[in-house]
Chains A and B, each alone.
Chain A
Amino acid sequence: MPQRAPAHATSGPAPQTPFFRSISRLGPAVRPILPRLVAGLAAGLATSALALAIPQVLRAVIDQLVANGTQPSAVWGAAGVVLLLGVLEAGMMVLRRLFVIEPSVRLERQMRVAMYGHLQDLPVAFHDRWGSGQLLSRSVADLGFLRRWLAFGAIFLVVSVSTVAIGAVLLFTLSWQLALIFLAAALPIMVYGAVFRRNFSLATRRSQDLAGDLATTVEESVHGIRVLKAFGRGREALESFAEQADRLRETEVAKARHQAVFSLVVTLLPELALGVGLVTGIWLTATGQLSIGSLAAFFATAAAVAQPVESSGMLVGMALTAKTAVDRHFEVMDAADTITDPADPEHPAATRGALTFRDVVFGYARRAGDGADGGAARPGGDAAPAAVLAGVTLEVRPGETMALVGATGSGKSTLLQLAPRLYDVEAGSVEIDGVDVRRLPLAELRRLVAVAFEDTTLFSSSVRDNVLLGAAVREGPEAEALLAEALDIAQAQFAYSLPAGLDTRIGEEGLSLSGGQRQRIALARAIAARPAVLVLDDPLSALDVATEERVTARLREALTETTALVVAHRPSTVALADRVALLAGGVIEDVGTHAELLARSAHYRWVIASLPEGPRNLDTEPGDLEEAR
């Protein structure tokens, strides 16, 4: 597998937003469950207060027991109090969970679904850039982490901070001199805390990005497994994966190291202060400035404060990771959906299916905000790549079948994808029955226009589900009839004789079918959508001549009512068409019947004519092959 620079992790440190600004973006989502979170926090505080209080109460109860003399009722009473406190503690634990867990799980689910919805809406241009593993890690791992933080980390962070704050106040009441020594330790912690925050944030961001990229690599290695096997590149793929995984390991270990050092500083400094405090305290007591009771109480309280201080390394780390998860979530959620429903859509009364391209200009990745925000820097810096389509004007009449012919890479597929608005034109317009496609509601537009892509993009479900993917009805006799008809037109009758007939699962991306079978299912899918405008991208490339002829014949019959724009590389596919448009140099160079174009266009003859007019000049020298080896 090619050595892949993980796009996100290497694009430099993401701009650091302040912690609270990031977290506050959760505001709208968290607000409805805020009361329950607060209640959970209260229960959490109560739990830790009880945990702190129970030993003291035990002591007091026993003291009293001893003082009251040896009354059996006193023993029962004391045990009763202790039992009550114990039950209360367990009850508070239950309460905290009752309050917090369910709403935070619901929140996680809600954010996950919202992200999925948003991703589906984001333009294809966005998906061109983002690996699905990267998106997946944001949708699953990050949100899961966020949930745990809300239900646990955030609450305990607050509990810890409160415990420390209360403890500090108590310390002052016991001995201000000792408390000052203790607090002096807090200053360096604050300074170091800032350093830690920066380092840890960078590391956690990097590790989360790396984890996403790693998932992307896994995904690619499985989808591309045929290539890896065909070339025996398993070892290289493994090496490159291992290297990538090792980078993740290193980052994770570095993260842990940052956290450990922070914990070290955070525990050590107060402890050092306590050591100094011990000496000072003994001296103060010896000189009569402090009572022995206060001295003992001071250290008992300091010990209670030490525990939450110690866990603060982990809790702060969790908070920073959660913040990164929020950032990463909103990077996706903030990506602008550039292809949206119009504000005041038009609903054409009747569709005849006239498809018109008017001075269409289009180039890839030429606009900022094409979903490119999010780390993946545009290759090539600022120089905008040249336009693929530089003023295409083409009129496909209602019911007409138009073939689109052009050299490899001339922009045919690009042009087709503008019709269902998978991309939007840069200038000019695409119109259906005189209405700009940008003025139609997206769902309606895509009901009007159906596409068969050149890569078949089937799903790992049954043949039936795949063919009826875009059909108006997907169940019942009507759907069955539609299915049968579509399969018949696409000459995909083979589907009936698959092991489980039309219910056969066709494997991921349809890879348990032959190439031609896949292509015919994809064609049937477009036909079953019953569109007004059918857009077929090289739909017969994987078919043999005989099948192609049959499909062509059936398509011609079926397409009398439907407007069709068909990309063709072969004269045999062109035979489908009433007219042919020749795309060259980003414009439609000529339109006419096959015969007309053959007669008048040299470029057309060059692109489509297979009968050799004599050996063409080959740009490759015979010697190239020698070098190639």
Chain B
Amino acid sequence: MSTSTTRAAFGTAGEDSLDLSREASRAVRRRSLRLLGELMGPVRGRLAATLAMVIVSQATRAAGPALIAFGIDRALPALAAGDPGVMWLAGGGYLAAALTTALLTAGYVTSTAALSQAMLLDLRVRVFRHTQRLSLDFHEHYTSGRIISRQTSDLEALRELLDTGVGALASGLMFMGFTAAAVFFLDWRSGLIMLAAAVPMAVLARWYQIRSQRAYRASRVVSARLIVHFVETMTGIRAVKAFRRERDNSAEYGRLADDFAAATLRSIQLHGVFQPGLALIGNVSVAAVLLAAGVRVLEGTLAVGVLLAVVLSTKRFFAPLEQMAMFYNSFQSAQAALEKVSGLLEEVPSVQPPRDPVPLPRARGAVAFASVAFSYGEGPEVLPEFSLAIPAGQTVALVGATGAGKSSLAKLVARFYDPSAGAVTLDGVDLRRLSTHDLRRAVVMVTQEAFLFSGSVADNIALGRAGASRADIEAAAKAVGAHEFISALTEGYDTDVTKRGGRVSAGQRQLISFARAVLADPAVLILDEATSSLDVPSERLVQAGLSRLLSRRAGNDGSRRTAVIIAHRLSSVEIADRVLVMEAGRVVEDGSPEELLARGGRFAALQAAWRDSLV
């Protein structure tokens, strides 16, 4: 198998293409079937039990009419002869069979749902876990809308297969098997004619498979696009309104909805050829069996009774085809969906947890960059090679023009990305050798974007540390001066901040994010513009809180915390021991604030400009 074609379809690459090369198509198919197999693994027992229930219920169902025939043929004469026993036997047998059928049917309906829901839960959680594991560079281009579409409409396709498919397939196959055996038993020649129908059916099925695969693939691609557009519109609704995008958006969404409708229609129409096609082949076969058998009745080589039985059985043989067609249809649909889901699951996080982590239960907080260079993916180099050591307990201010690479440098410390070359170390250990748990406990970053989840204020702060008590939370809020405004909210700490923290103001969001970091109590604290939206008094409060926070370390030997503070407002720099000035990805000045001021370089100029800008 050529590597280029498989690479083209590896993971989410080529997710939008409909025409995959033969190998790629096979690889993708194999990967989605493997996923389906993996999902079925843990529920094997239940699956077997469900199938057993289906099979037994089919048998008891078939027993019903037989018992009625028995009643009419035997019980009636017996009763006439004065023996009601056979009648009771027939009636009781019928009741027993009906009861078993009904109970088993109810049993397998519930069991199928339990089965399918267990598999869906498994897959949902897998996808969720995997998306959380995937690195930021992946999320930057994949978009949340696609993940949502994987998690919703793709899973829906699988669910349909599981819910309707299993029972239909098993009972259909069973039924057809028994009927075919009966026909062969009665007259093997008719049986052969009946089986000959398998040839055109196989051709039709193959045709359908190829067409519908493409159609369902298209429908997955288009539905993802539709969902991405929908989600992005709803998330950015303010900008949509403010910039009057409604009409253009509606046109665009209308187009997407048209595409989606067309793709849906296409797949249904294929099914609309497939299913009646199967029915037609079945019906023609019945006629053929009738003809062939009829001729032999004419020749006197076949009994009339056998003719009747064979023709009726043949007819019955094809009856479950409709269900089988439906099963195949939902299988194709689920297959297309699983292609996408398994592709997402195949993505490898670029930032990987180590196999054999070096334990670091108590980090001191010494950070070092050893010949580190960094670029985002294949993009231009953002940080050319540099080395830098930040001793434990130092408060470092990182300043410089926007786009200079401050956040990028900080994100390397938090291991949001791995450096393209060199290594970032904490207490001498390469970050790539630290377990996620140790790393996240030691290093916490307050990102430039203050993101709140919907949920209460307390929940949002508690995100900083698992299992924090209400008192801890309030203390953290007090430390950054957020307690006052939080208490003033309608329900205090229990107020729901709603979607993305929309219920509170931008500055309030920053305060809550800050409180989160205080609660986390890390050895290395990174603040990326954490006070940019605050008013001066709040910023000052935060500053004071921060310097207290940095000067002491809980339950420790009194050593200080390491801090990296990125700020454009140089007021934040006042508490720094050391200042790094960045320009175009390089650290161009490095020293204590006093030194740098005395040296009269860039920092001195910045400081002067900053002073000037003040009142």
Instruction: Check B27 for interface membership: any CB of A closer than 8 A.
Output: no
B502 and A460 contact, CB distance less than 8 A: no
Distance in angstroms between the alpha carbons of A52 and B615 in the assembled complex: 92
Q: Please, which residue of chain A has its CB at the minimum distance from the CB of B233?
A: A120
A105 and B102 contact, CB distance less than 8 A: no
Separation in Å of the A528 CB from the closest CB of chain B? 10
Instruction: Check B151 for interface membership: any CB of A closer than 8 A.
Output: yes
A136 and B230 contact, CB distance less than 8 A: yes
Separation in Å of the A11 CB from the closest CB of chain B? 13
Distance in angstroms between the alpha carbons of A538 and B459 in the assembled complex: 28
Distance in angstroms between the alpha carbons of A225 and B505 in the assembled complex: 21
Residues of A within 8 A of B216 (CB): none
Given contacts A120-B246, A225-B139, are A140 and B475 in contact (CB under 8 A)? no
Residues of A within 8 A of B200 (CB): none
Residues of A within 8 A of B297 (CB): 65-66, 70, 75
A628 and B613 contact, CB distance less than 8 A: no
Taking CB atoms and an 8 Å cut-off, the chain B residues in 380-431 that contact chain A are: 380, 399-403, 407-408, 414, 416
Q: How many residues of B are in contact with the other chain, CB < 8 A? A: 203
B133 and A234 contact, CB distance less than 8 A: yes
B230 and A457 contact, CB distance less than 8 A: no
A-B contact count (CB 8 A): 599
Instruction: Check B210 for interface membership: any CB of A closer than 8 A.
Output: no
For A469-489 the 0/1 string (1 means CB < 8 A from B) is 110000000000000000000
Interface-central residue, A267, A406, A525, A544, by most chain B CB under 10 Å: A544
Stretch at the interface among A175-183, A255-263, A322-330: A255-263
B478 and A624 contact, CB distance less than 8 A: yes
Distance in angstroms between the alpha carbons of A283 and B544 in the assembled complex: 98
* A2 in complex: contacting residue of B132, B456, B503, CB < 8 Å: B456
Given contacts A139-B230, A249-B117, are A618 and B416 in contact (CB under 8 A)? no
B290 and A82 contact, CB distance less than 8 A: yes
Taking CB atoms and an 8 Å cut-off, the chain B residues in 76-124 that contact chain A are: 76, 79-80, 87-88, 90-92, 94-95, 98-99, 101-103, 105-107, 109-110, 112-114, 117-118, 120-121, 124
Residues of B within 8 A of A131 (CB): 454, 499
* A494 in complex: contacting residue of B376, B403, B613, CB < 8 Å: B403
Residues of A within 8 A of B238 (CB): 124, 417, 422, 451, 453, 457
A286 and B76 contact, CB distance less than 8 A: yes
Given contacts A89-B279, A622-B548, are A408 and B507 in contact (CB under 8 A)? yes
A124 and B144 contact, CB distance less than 8 A: no
Instruction: Check A132 for interface membership: any CB of B closer than 8 A.
Output: yes
A469 and B113 contact, CB distance less than 8 A: no
* B121 in complex: contacting residue of A139, A245, A275, CB < 8 Å: A245
Instruction: Check A38 for interface membership: any CB of B closer than 8 A.
Output: no
Instruction: Check B128 for interface membership: any CB of A closer than 8 A.
Output: yes
Instruction: Check A545 for interface membership: any CB of B closer than 8 A.
Output: yes
Instruction: Check A1 for interface membership: any CB of B closer than 8 A.
Output: yes
For B262-305 the 0/1 string (1 means CB < 8 A from A) is 00110011001001110110111011101100110110100010
* A231 in complex: contacting residue of B91, B242, B440, B503, CB < 8 Å: B440
Residues of A within 8 A of B140 (CB): 507-508, 511-512
Distance in angstroms between the alpha carbons of A512 and B152 in the assembled complex: 26
Given contacts A2-B456, A70-B298, A525-B243, are A628 and B472 in contact (CB under 8 A)? yes
* A140 in complex: contacting residue of B103, B139, B227, CB < 8 Å: B227
Stretch at the interface among A21-29, A110-118, A157-165: A110-118
Distance in angstroms between the alpha carbons of A256 and B111 in the assembled complex: 9
Separation in Å of the A293 CB from the closest CB of chain B? 10
B315 and A279 contact, CB distance less than 8 A: no
B280 and A87 contact, CB distance less than 8 A: yes
B291 and A113 contact, CB distance less than 8 A: no
Instruction: Check A4 for interface membership: any CB of B closer than 8 A.
Output: yes
Instruction: Check B181 for interface membership: any CB of A closer than 8 A.
Output: no
A260 and B110 contact, CB distance less than 8 A: yes
Separation in Å of the B557 CB from the closest CB of chain A? 15
Separation in Å of the B225 CB from the closest CB of chain A? 12
A236 and B614 contact, CB distance less than 8 A: no
* B131 in complex: contacting residue of A105, A144, A221, A443, CB < 8 Å: A221
Residues of B within 8 A of A117 (CB): 246, 250
Residues of A within 8 A of B99 (CB): 268, 271-272
Instruction: Check A499 for interface membership: any CB of B closer than 8 A.
Output: yes
Residues of A within 8 A of B500 (CB): 220, 223
Instruction: Check B340 for interface membership: any CB of A closer than 8 A.
Output: no
A260 and B109 contact, CB distance less than 8 A: yes
* A119 in complex: contacting residue of B76, B132, B234, CB < 8 Å: B234
B94 and A275 contact, CB distance less than 8 A: yes
A470 and B250 contact, CB distance less than 8 A: no
Residues of B within 8 A of A624 (CB): 475, 478-479, 545
Q: Please, which residue of chain A has its CB at the minimum distance from the CB of B466?
A: A236
B272 and A97 contact, CB distance less than 8 A: yes
Distance in angstroms between the alpha carbons of A59 and B315 in the assembled complex: 12
B72 and A296 contact, CB distance less than 8 A: yes
Taking CB atoms and an 8 Å cut-off, the chain A residues in 137-168 that contact chain B are: 137, 139-141, 144, 147
Residues of B within 8 A of A256 (CB): 109-110, 112-114, 117
Residues of A within 8 A of B400 (CB): 544
Given contacts A132-B234, A238-B129, are A625 and B545 in contact (CB under 8 A)? yes
A543 and B91 contact, CB distance less than 8 A: no
* B475 in complex: contacting residue of A313, A447, A627, CB < 8 Å: A627
* A453 in complex: contacting residue of B76, B148, B239, B448, CB < 8 Å: B239
B94 and A124 contact, CB distance less than 8 A: no
Separation in Å of the B66 CB from the closest CB of chain A? 12
* A232 in complex: contacting residue of B437, B521, B613, CB < 8 Å: B437
B105 and A407 contact, CB distance less than 8 A: no
Residues of A within 8 A of B264 (CB): 105, 108, 147
Separation in Å of the A610 CB from the closest CB of chain B? 5
Stretch at the interface among A345-353, A390-398, A424-432, A565-573: A565-573
Taking CB atoms and an 8 Å cut-off, the chain B residues in 213-245 that contact chain A are: 223, 226-227, 230-245
Instruction: Check B537 for interface membership: any CB of A closer than 8 A.
Output: yes
Stretch at the interface among A12-20, A194-202, A379-387, A556-564: A379-387
* A409 in complex: contacting residue of B143, B231, B376, B508, CB < 8 Å: B508
A231 and B463 contact, CB distance less than 8 A: yes
B462 and A507 contact, CB distance less than 8 A: no
Instruction: Check A575 for interface membership: any CB of B closer than 8 A.
Output: yes
Instruction: Check B379 for interface membership: any CB of A closer than 8 A.
Output: yes
For B498-517 the 0/1 string (1 means CB < 8 A from A) is 11101111111001010010
* A570 in complex: contacting residue of B244, B290, B569, CB < 8 Å: B569
Residues of B within 8 A of A222 (CB): 131, 139, 144, 147-148
B571 and A610 contact, CB distance less than 8 A: yes
Q: Please, which residue of chain A has its CB at the minimum distance from the CB of B128?
A: A241
Q: Please, which residue of chain A has its CB at the minimum distance from the CB of B553?
A: A629
Stretch at the interface among A211-219, A354-362, A585-593: A211-219
A76 and B291 contact, CB distance less than 8 A: yes
Residues of B within 8 A of A621 (CB): 478
Instruction: Check B356 for interface membership: any CB of A closer than 8 A.
Output: no
Given contacts A65-B294, A260-B106, A571-B614, are A545 and B152 in contact (CB under 8 A)? no
Separation in Å of the A274 CB from the closest CB of chain B? 7
Separation in Å of the B367 CB from the closest CB of chain A? 16
Q: Please, which residue of chain B has its CB at the minimum distance from the CB of A145?
A: B156
Q: Please, which residue of chain A has its CB at the minimum distance from the CB of B147?
A: A222
Separation in Å of the B440 CB from the closest CB of chain A? 2
For B604-615 the 0/1 string (1 means CB < 8 A from A) is 001001100111
List of 3 A-B pairs having minimum Cβ-Cβ separation, nearest first = A86-B283, A232-B440, A516-B402
18 sampled A-B residue pairs with Cβ under 8 A:
A2-B453, A3-B455, A86-B283, A89-B279, A116-B249, A119-B234, A120-B240, A218-B148, A225-B136, A234-B133, A274-B98, A422-B241, A508-B144, A545-B610, A545-B613, A569-B536, A625-B518, A627-B475
Q: Apart from A86-B279, A105-B261, A446-B241, what 16 extra A-B contacts exist at CB < 8 Å?
A: A79-B290, A85-B283, A97-B268, A105-B268, A128-B498, A141-B156, A229-B416, A231-B440, A231-B464, A256-B110, A256-B113, A263-B106, A272-B99, A385-B490, A470-B243, A570-B613
